[in-house]
Amino acid sequence: GSFDSLNPFILRGTPAVGIGPLIYDPLLVEANDEPSAAYAHLAQWIEVAPDKLSVSFELNPLARWHDGRAISAADVLWTFETLRTQGRPIYRAYWGDVTRVVADNDRRVTFHFRNAENHELPTILGQLQVLPKHWWEGRDFARPSQDIPLGSGPYRLERFESGRGLTYRRVPDYWARDLNTRRGTNNFDTIRYEYFRDSTIAFEAFKAGQIDFRTENSARDWSTGYDFPAVRRGLVKRDTIRHEIPTGMQGFAMNQRRPLFQDQRVREALIAVFDFEWMNQNLFYGLYTRTQSFFSNSDLASSGLPTGRELEILEPFRAQLPAALFTQEVRLPVTDGSGNNRDGLRRALELLRGAGWTVRDRRLVNAQGQPFRFEILLSSPTFERIALPYVQWLQRLGIEASVRTVDQAQYQVRVDAFDYDMTVDVIGQSSSPGNEQREFFGCGAVAQPGSQNVTGICHPVVEQLIEQIVAAPNRAELLARTHAMDRVLLWQSYIIPNWHLRAWWLAWWDKFGRPERSPKFGLGFPAAWWVDPARAAALAEARRSL
Nearest-angstrom CA–CA distance, 265 and 487? 18
Residues 385 and 519 grouped into a single domain: no
Q: Which amino acid is at 281?
A: Q
Residue 27 in contact with residue 130, Cβ under 8 Å? yes
Give which of 331, 350, 270 is closest to 490, Cα–Cα: 331
Q: Please give the span between the terminal C-alpha atoms of the chain, in angstroms, as a whole number.
A: 30
Strands 530-531 and 373-378: unpaired
Q: Which amino acid is at 321?
A: L
Residues 225 and 281 grouped into a single domain: no
Regions in the chain scoring below 70 on pLDDT? none
Residues 512 and 478 grouped into a single domain: no
- Report the CATH number at residue 171: 3.40.190.10
Last residue of some domain: 136, 164, 197? Answer: 136
The answer as to whether 212 is a domain residue is yes
Q: What is the pLDDT of residue 93?
A: 85
The answer as to whether 496 is a domain residue is yes
CA gyration radius, the chain: 25
Q: What is the pLDDT of residues 46-101, one digit of tens each?
A: 999 999 999 999 999 999 999 999 999 999 999 999 999 999 988 998 899 999 99
- Report the CATH number at residue 309: 3.10.105.10
The answer as to whether 57 is a domain residue is yes
* Cα dihedral 463, 430, 74, 48 sign: positive
Residue 364 in contact with residue 357, Cβ under 8 Å? yes
Nearest-angstrom CA–CA distance, 67 and 48? 32
The answer as to whether 3 is a domain residue is no
Residue 106 in contact with residue 191, Cβ under 8 Å? no
Residues 172 and 90 grouped into a single domain: no
Residues 181 and 125 grouped into a single domain: no
Q: What is the pLDDT of residue 37?
A: 87
Which helix (H) or strand (E) segment holds residue 427: the answer is strand 422-427
Residues 32 and 124 grouped into a single domain: yes
Nearest-angstrom CA–CA distance, 335 and 341? 6
CA 350 to chain centre: 35
Q: How many domains does the chain have?
A: 3
Strands 249-254 and 495-497: antiparallel
Residues 342 and 386 grouped into a single domain: yes
Provide the 3-class DSSP secondary structure of residue 278: helix
The answer as to whether 84 is a domain residue is yes
Q: What is the pLDDT of residue 198?
A: 84
Q: What is the pLDDT of residue 38?
A: 92
- Give the neighbor-by-neighbor strand order of the sheet with 165-170: 155-161, 165-170, 190-194
Residues 189 and 317 grouped into a single domain: no
The answer as to whether 370 is a domain residue is no
The answer as to whether 143 is a domain residue is no
Residue 145 in contact with residue 139, Cβ under 8 Å? yes
Nearest-angstrom CA–CA distance, 541 and 32? 36
Residues 417 and 308 grouped into a single domain: yes
Q: For residue 271, what are the domain limits?
A: 250-352+379-391+404-500
Q: What is the pLDDT of residue 39?
A: 95
Nearest-angstrom CA–CA distance, 224 and 92? 45
Give which of 62, 77, 172, 169 is closest to 130, Cα–Cα: 77
In the chain, what percentage of residues exceed pLDDT 90? 90
The answer as to whether 310 is a domain residue is yes
pTM attached to this predicted model: 0.88
Q: What is the pLDDT of residue 542?
A: 94
Residues 227 and 254 grouped into a single domain: no
Question: Torsions phi, psi of 190, nearest 5?
Answer: -135, 150
Nearest-angstrom CA–CA distance, 179 and 186? 12
Residues 56 and 129 grouped into a single domain: yes
Residues 99 and 114 grouped into a single domain: yes
